[in-house]
Amino acid sequence: MSTPAGPVKATKARPSAQAGAMPSEGGATMAEALLEPSRAPELLPVKPVTLAEMETIPEVKRRFERMRLLSKPRPTLADGEPLNPQLPIDLTVIDDENIGRLFSEFCVMAQYATERLAAHTVVRAAAEMREKHERAVSRLNKDGTVDDKAAQVQLDPKVRRWALETLTGEGVEALTKAMLESYLIGRDAVSREMTRRIALSPGPEAQRVRR
């Protein structure tokens, strides 16, 4: 007669650090909070938390881990160098094999940038919410006129810290959007050149493109 198996312990997701991170309350960096989604999240029970806890970068990180959003590294070339395709001035001088490879590289990097943008947007929103929370708490604890309170809130160390985090998050988000847009432009330009070549070549594919 077999004995019942003991309780199965759930493994805890390991945090992953990325470059360009902001410090969190627990001493961790913002990089540890910027986890890149690699697949759809699995629905797991979420333990209720207080409003203050919900508005912190560490809580965002913990929720990412509970949803098992695993970090995916930046795509690299065969020699280990980070993939970063560049759009040439003249696409017509590139042979068919290399132009197909260039199209694939732009597609891969556009996908990567889209996932990074989503992660940066979440962290920026969390920092913005925490800044608003610290401003409200600071204002309630200050005395004086409305103008006096406003000036004191602006000088509050916690408010200044989270205002910087918000500004940093907005900057990273804007740069990631620009990176995504550049890869999409490259992908579309290469796609048009590939379509042009097919249309000029003999065969059934060219007939289909012309129609």
Tell me the mean pLDDT in the region 171-191. Answer: 95
Cβ atoms of residues 116 and 38 within 8 Å:
no
In a domain, 80, yes or no: yes
Residue 22 domain flag:
no
Nearest to 22 by CA among 146, 127, 99, 134: 127
Which range marks the domain in which residue 186 is found? 76-210
User: Domain for residue 111, yes or no?
Assistant: yes
Residue 204's pLDDT band, with cuts at 50, 70 and 90, is low
Look at the chain and report how many structural domains it folds into. Answer: 1
DSSP one-letter string for 79-131: TSPBP-----S-GGGS-HHHHHHHHHHHHHHHHHHHHHHHHHHHHHHHHHHHH
> CA–CA separation, 13 vs 65, rounded Å?
6
Can you tell me the distance from the alpha carbon of 205 to that of 191, in angstroms, rounded to the nearest whole number?
15
Q: Is residue 32 assigned to a domain? A: no
Place of tokens 């913005």: 128
E strand or H helix at 186, and its extent?
Answer: helix 157-200
What confidence tens digit (pLDDT) does each residue in 116-151 have?
898 888 888 888 888 888 888 888 888 888 888 888
Dihedral pair phi/psi, residue 82, rounded to 5°: -60, 135
d(CA 30, CA 20): 7
pLDDT over 60 (residue 23): no
Q: 146: part of which helix (H) or strand (E)?
A: helix 146-155
Tell me which residue of 40, 32, 37, 39 sits closest to 14, measured CA to CA. 32
Residue 16 inside a domain? The answer is no
Most confident of 6-15, 51-60, 102-111: 102-111
Dump pLDDT digits (tens) for 151-163: 888 888 888 988 8
Which residue do the tokens 């500004």 mark?
A: 167
**169: pLDDT strictly greater than 70:** yes
Residue 86 located in a structural domain? yes
Residue 173 domain-assigned (yes or no): yes
Q: Between helices 157-200 and 96-140, what is the axis angle to 10°?
A: 160
- One-letter amino acid of 62: R
- β-bridge mates for residue 43, sequence order: none
Q: Are 199 and 209 in contact (CB under 8 A)?
A: yes
Q: Does residue 58 belong to any structural domain of this protein?
A: no
